[in-house]
């Protein structure tokens, strides 16, 4: 049931605040993380020396975001790998490796096979999944469910936010077990997480119709580029994937620092480029680097659409459009910056008269290799 929305995707984007809130619900007590599903695993979390995250598509981008938090808080090295690449090499894994799989459906064959492969090689496996009782969690040693609710549209939206939320909960939990984060430090991060749902609602309230209008104007666009740095990089990849999937427009996401190593050659007058701008308050250096990237592409005629924090005026002289997100600590910005990109992809597909829920050639869950 679309509940009065024009598409399941529209409904699911509107549910992004709840997807985060429901994934947090019952897992925070007195400012600390409590995940009953992980009881009894302290020894495992204390002993691991490596984490490998495996997933496909959007779930892999959630993993890439999660890597920043996991490494920063737990100090355990983290690799993120596409599930279908993982088992066709000879990965270095063993009992000290925790393999974290991420899957909305829990049925993605590539991810399932990678989990089995890791388990057969002696690694411990933990599944982050949105579907109760699905195959991947059943094949894993431990499960952390995301509580995004059923996701019907082929393009994953609310599940992505719930996956990042679950990874952050896991990272904080492991960090407390290992003692790499104090109770006070963890409490501060928990406060940031708890503030996210209201901030997403604010984006939907203040920016949604403006972004849809922008998408409508851009319906004839043939190619869109997305740039991001640090946690903004996987968000750029996610913005590009969503646009390809449902609006059939060529789109590429790049790490902003790669620009001069190649992609800047693509910039010609009128080329639309979304730029995810890091917070100027929290990461002045990163912010200034991204602003200079914006200047470089603007000088070559790019049409810049910046996704930037409220109050960031440094981007104004160089951006053609600024989509605003509320203030947050850098690690939490992905949970906000992705929302305008989901709205944009949906708006553009709608403006082109396409079926946003059932894009051509794609299935919601890819159960073949
Ligand atoms: O069910 P899963 O999370 O395992 O699915 C993984 C990908 O197939 C999925 O995220 C896909 O990339 C989406 N269609 C993206 O919107």
Confidence (pLDDT) at 46: 97
Question: DSSP alpha helices (H): ranges in the chain?
Answer: 8-14, 16-24, 42-47, 57-74, 83-86, 109-120, 135-138, 158-178, 183-217, 232-247, 284-299, 334-351
* Segment 327-350, tens digit of pLDDT: 999 999 999 999 999 999 999 999
User: Is the minimum distance from the CB of 114 to ligand 1 under 6 angstroms?
Assistant: no
Confidence (pLDDT) at 212: 97
How many whole angstroms from 23 Cα to the centroid of ligand 1?
19
**Which of 189, 230, 238 is closest to 339 using CA atoms?**
238
Confidence (pLDDT) at 282: 84
* Segment 19-41, tens digit of pLDDT: 999 999 999 999 999 999 999 99
Confidence (pLDDT) at 277: 97
Ligand 1 pocket check: which of 108, 137, 158, 160 to mutate, most ligand atoms within 8 Å of Cβ?
Answer: 108
Confidence (pLDDT) at 369: 85
Confidence (pLDDT) at 357: 96
User: Is the minimum distance from the CB of 358 to ligand 1 under 6 angstroms?
Assistant: no
Phi, psi of 85 (to 5 degrees): -90, -35
Confidence (pLDDT) at 368: 87
* Segment 96-131, tens digit of pLDDT: 999 999 999 999 999 999 999 999 999 999 999 999
Q: ipTM higher than 0.95?
A: yes
Confidence (pLDDT) at 229: 97
Tell which atom from ligand 1 comes closest to the C-alpha of 154. Answer: 14
Q: Is 364 annotated in the active site?
A: yes
Residues of the chain with pLDDT under 70: none
Contact 37, 142 (CB under 8 A): yes
User: Whole-prediction pTM value?
Assistant: 0.98
Tell which atom from ligand 1 comes closest to the C-alpha of 57. Answer: 12
User: Is the minimum distance from the CB of 103 to ligand 1 under 6 angstroms?
Assistant: yes
Confidence (pLDDT) at 19: 98
**Which of 73, 61, 131, 135 is closest to 334 using CA atoms?**
61
User: Is the minimum distance from the CB of 57 to ligand 1 under 6 angstroms?
Assistant: yes
- Classify residue 314 as exposed, middle or buried by CB count within 10 Å of its CB (0-12, 13-18, 19+): middle
């Amino acid at each position: 049931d679309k509940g009065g929305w024009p598409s399941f995707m529209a409904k699911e984007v509107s549910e992004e605040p709840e997807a985060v809130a429901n994934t947090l619900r019952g897992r925070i007590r007195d400012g600390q993380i409590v995940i009953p599903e992980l009881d009894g695993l302290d020894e495992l979390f204390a002993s691991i020396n490596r984490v490998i995250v495996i997933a496909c598509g959007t779930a892999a981008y959630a993993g890439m975001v999660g890597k920043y938090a996991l490494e920063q808080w737990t100090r355990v090295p983290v690799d993120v790998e596409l599930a279908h690449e993982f088992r066709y090499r000879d990965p270095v894994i063993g009992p000290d490796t925790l393999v974290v799989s991420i899957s909305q459906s829990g049925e993605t064959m590539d991810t399932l096979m990678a989990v089995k492969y890791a388990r057969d090689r002696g690694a411990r496996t933990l599944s982050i999944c949105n579907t109760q009782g699905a195959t991947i969690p059943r094949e894993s040693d431990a499960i952390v469910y995301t509580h995004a609710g059923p996701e019907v549209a082929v393009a994953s939206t609310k599940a992505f936010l719930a996956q990042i939320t679950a990874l952050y909960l896991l990272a904080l939990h492991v960090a407390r077990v290992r003692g790499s984060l104090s109770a006070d430090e963890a409490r501060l991060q928990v406060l940031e997480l708890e503030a996210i749902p209201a901030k997403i609602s604010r984006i939907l309230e203040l920016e949604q119709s403006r972004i849809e209008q922008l998408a409508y104007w851009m319906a004839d666009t043939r190619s869109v580029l997305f740039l991001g740095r640090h946690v903004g990089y996987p968000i750029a990849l996610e913005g590009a994937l969503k646009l390809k999937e449902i609006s059939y427009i060529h789109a590429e996401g790049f790490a902003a620092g790669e620009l001069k190593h190649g992609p800047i050659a693509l910039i010609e007058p009128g080329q639309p480029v979304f730029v995810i701008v890091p917070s100027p308050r929290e990461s002045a250096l990163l912010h200034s680097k991204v602003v200079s990237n914006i200047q470089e592409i603007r000088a070559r005629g790019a049409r810049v659409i910046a996704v930037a924090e409220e109050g960031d005026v440094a981007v104004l002289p160089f951006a053609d459009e600024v989509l605003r997100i509320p203030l947050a600590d850098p690690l939490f910005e992905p949970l906000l910056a992705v929302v305008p990109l989901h709205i944009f992809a949906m708006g553009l597909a709608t403006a082109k008269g396409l079926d946003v829920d059932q894009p051509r050639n794609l299935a919601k869950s890819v159960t073949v290799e």
